[in-house]
Structure 1
């Protein structure tokens, strides 16, 4: 099993395999890798004639094999992509389709014993979470196919990808600003692309500054606070406490966590008050100095609370802050009690 850097080296040496199997939790990043191979194998003039795509959750593998064995048109190779190939997980039978998952894996395994020499088959499976590991089925294919585990982009690899995206959009960002951006953004390609588009629109053609990044991008801890408060709005105290524990594990201090929660409840109170008085999203975003995208998300969250509940939660924040400052009791217990009170 290799990573994308190893794959890139192989392709630069024109070492093309008959089959590639990708697995990972970031589908956007997997798609980028699939396109990288496709662009290497096919000439742009004949892509439409020599490129086929199948839904791995629906297509039977006999149809896919037939496409693989069809001769390419005006090209040495053709590319067949099977996306979201759930038959590569270890769950076995799919109740909605009989034993189709097991059959498809068996047919893939048999096909790879004698693959079509003029076809590059690309199969990918998206993990259901970041914690999922490559299945036993995927491991079994390593001797017959090039298996690539797509990990989240980090460090210099993430910076290079982000720089390429900024440059492709005709935008300029300095080295220090790029480093700051990469440190702040969640390394999920959907989020990365969305945040880059927001920054470019905000900068309106000028070089992107550090202030732009701080103004436009939600801090990672702020994302956690948003989710924590969202779980409180659903009265799901268990998931809210899980996020609290993650924040503490990351090194966030409990007084700061409480401050951020209080700030969130204050914003939600002002947003709900504004909505009920007839203010538009644009006016609220301007008054509260929020990006319209963030403001829209917070409007949706504010709808899950009453004004009375938000006012009470703000008061609970103030009381808990006083307790943290004036007593020697366990801060973690105090903030947990506060969170439980907000859902009562």
Structure 2
């Protein structure tokens, strides 16, 4: 089942005896664990009812024994077993041997007073393995993958609603652009925004500018956006700010080149008929970054983007070989790009 279906079932009070949560969004995995815990265990009972194990140190048969043992002083218990790498194709470096047949047998008649949650820090499981097939048939697999661009914007808005404030139009997207796509980081920034806006308040773009500290990567996004929109004054102001913060010009060029490379790949794959989600998977970036790059790439022909990448490679060589002043080279590049 997908993540949303799992959450809907939990909210309705419907629970699977075993969950295998995997994927790149560790925040979603943790959120599912917390949702199950909140639904099944009273806060004062958690010391007795929630048991955590690391499967690089504990064999899976210990997890099954724990699941089959009656809970102490509580009606139900949750067993969280992390780093379950035996569900993937990765080679395990630990000395623990896992008897997966015990898990297969347990799945045939699971205890009704226990819920096991396996967590796996991997994008994919090895579906050739018998145990993975068995768990898939039991609808126990819950992929916690990157949200699409639209889902991410909706998620940010929903988190704001939970915190009892709202974003003015366009501010949620700007927050993502400034902060990046890490859900953990976004949650912290949304908490900061909630405190600033107050209960029932609305956070404006001006408020956001005061609150959020942008990383150099996010500043490069914004710098290129200014260039694309032919906003030279804002572009050079941002460049001056980056240099004032002692950012190395060669690093700035490297990040600009990275963004133009993404723009080139996105435009090329879009012309071949790929969707934004497919492109994100193909070039290993977040779907939101694909959405931003697609918008920026619309201002350029594919051969122009290729030409810009060649210019950046040449500028990088000139800077590193001392043939041009680094700051002057950056400024000249931005002027050429805007023209």
Matches within 5 A, 1:209-220: 209-217=204-212
CA RMSD, 1 decimal: 4.1
Whether the 8 Å contact between 1:28 and 1:189 is mirrored in structure 2 is yes
Question: What's the offset of the Cα at 1:212?
Answer: 2.6
Report the TM-score, using the length of structure 1 for normalisation.
Answer: 0.61
Does residue 134 in structure 1 map to residue 133 in structure 2? no
* Aligned equivalent of 1:279: none
Does residue 341 in structure 1 map to residue 318 in structure 2? yes
Q: Secondary structure at the match of 1:59?
A: coil
Whether the 8 Å contact between 1:166 and 1:172 is mirrored in structure 2 is yes
Q: Secondary structure at the match of 1:71?
A: coil
| Stretch moving more, 117-126 or 207-216 | 207-216
Does residue 122 in structure 1 map to residue 113 in structure 2? no
Does residue 271 in structure 1 map to residue 233 in structure 2? no
Alignment gaps of 5+ in structure 2: 257-303, 322-339
* Counterparts of 1:25 and 1:133, CA distance in 2: 9
* Aligned equivalent of 1:60: 59
* Aligned equivalent of 2:9: 10
Whether the 8 Å contact between 2:79 and 2:115 is mirrored in structure 1 is yes
Question: What's the offset of the Cα at 1:216?
Answer: 4.4
Taking a change above 3 Å as real, the CA distance of residues 44 and 31 of structure 1, as seen in their structure-2 partners, is same
* Counterparts of 1:209 and 1:32, CA distance in 2: 28
* Counterparts of 2:34 and 2:235, CA distance in 1: 41
Question: What's the offset of the Cα at 1:340?
Answer: 2.8
* Counterparts of 2:308 and 2:139, CA distance in 1: 54
Taking a change above 3 Å as real, the CA distance of residues 66 and 165 of structure 1, as seen in their structure-2 partners, is same
Aligned residues: 262
* Counterparts of 2:244 and 2:176, CA distance in 1: 31
Q: How far does the alpha carbon of each residue in 1:162-183 deviate from its partner, in whole angstroms, 9 at most, with x for none?
A: 3453355454434653455456
Does residue 147 in structure 1 map to residue 121 in structure 2? no
Question: What's the offset of the Cα at 1:65?
Answer: 2.0
Alignment gaps of 5+ in structure 1: 227-246, 273-301, 318-327
| Stretch moving more, 29-38 or 70-79 | 70-79
Report the TM-score, using the length of structure 2 for normalisation.
Answer: 0.62
Q: Secondary structure at the match of 1:112?
A: helix
* Counterparts of 1:224 and 1:124, CA distance in 2: 34
